[in-house]
Amino acid sequence: MFEKILIANRGEIALRIHRACREMGIKTVAVHSEADSNAMHVRLADEAVCIGPAKATESYLNKPAIISAAVITGADAIHPGYGFLSENADFAEMVERHGIAFIGPTSAQMRLMGDKVAARAAAQKAGMPVAAGSPELKSLDEAYVWAKKIGFPVIIKAKNGGGGKGMKVALKQEDIPDAYTLAKAEAKASFTSDEVYLEKFLTHPRHIEIQILADSYGNVVHLGERDCSIQRGNQKVVEETPSPALNESARQNICKIVRKAIQKIGYTNAGTLEFLYEDGKFYFMEMNTRLQVEHPITELVTGVDLVREQIRIASGAKLSFKQEDISFSGHAIECRINAENPLNFLPSPGKIEEWHAPGGLGVRVDSEIYSGYQIPADYDSMIAKLIISSKTRNGAIMRLRRALDEFVILGVETTLPLLQDLIAEPEFLDGTYDIHWLETWMQKYKL
């Protein structure tokens, strides 16, 4: 087992990884920017190394600085968390070349699944259902040809994208030029590559993802599904498990397909297969080769510590359980809490004047915020995750309502009021929402 792990991230996920390491008796190294010198994970880690100024490109995305910090401190492994360099195959390869373990898949596996066109082909070959789509589009003329072949509406997506960026919908032929141009521009700005492809656009799907764990010995388990359909601008806001949209037959069928596919692909460590689900059918979108923001809800219904298993797998250990050992119990919901204006979503950095997190049975808060903490203006505005579990979905919703009412964050604007109103809506209570529901509701909410 590793003796020391460098955490190449910040915020709540850095603290989450630190806690798992501490429980395993592993020392931690926190890397941080100048803006994060007072962050909680920096305070709690065994060692801390400043890797640059606040700007992410000069710190958390600075590969040489992170590798140097690992070498200087004698770290055995690097955990990338999510975001930043977590799905950067070049970084994973650099880590491997320096004889340091990367807590995630291999760089080759990351490259395969990071190329959305190649990932679609690999998924289809491995037996997963895939929506109609094109190869990489070389020109606007090709976009017209493939759109006509597939049928409108279509969506043009970044080939090397993720996180909802580089995606533009064309409802009709006249929309193709703008969608193509804008998708390429956004892809270039977000991923340094303007390569795009085209896919059939589903009008009212759910966003369902399957969590898997796989070791280096061919053992693969699934940990059920998460419903991530409540989104704004392709960014998840609320997630729950199990999905209220699936019956047990559909659930078992897609999880079985995914498990077999991952075995065929030969993937290792934690990963998430993302699907659109409409009219009883699943369509593979992409694979996230990292830990997900919403992983805690899976932990609460399965009792599996996903970060711990990631670390064990990367150290060369076999999975500590088999598929038949996993049992699913109850219902869990996660709300992402951002330091933003709840109406226009403008970031609200600043000093936390008062912080009181809710507690009680079935309540978990993942955050490194504390009273007096200064939220930097340089990073993502998510400051906390409220995760609730109960025996039933209705029980989880009632507990979530109570916990949101207890949450106190003063000094900055947050999305707490939005979440309080959202979970009272009939479509949420009934579980009848789709991926477009929140944005439609938001238009009414703003009025």
Are 52 and 66 a contacting pair, CB within 8 Å? Answer: no
- Please give the C-alpha separations between residue 214 and each of 56, 119, 275, 314, in angstroms, as whole numbers: 31, 18, 19, 10
Q: Are 238 and 336 in contact (CB under 8 A)?
A: yes
Half-sphere exposure for 378 (CA within 13 Å, toward CB): 20
* Residue 41 · residue 18 · CB < 8 Å: yes
The region that residue 31 occupies, defined by phi over 0 for left and psi between -120 and 50 for alpha, beta otherwise, is beta
290 is catalytic: yes
Inter-residue contact 71 to 54 (CB < 8 Å): no
| Active-site pick, 10, 111, 206, 290 | 290
Active site residues: 290
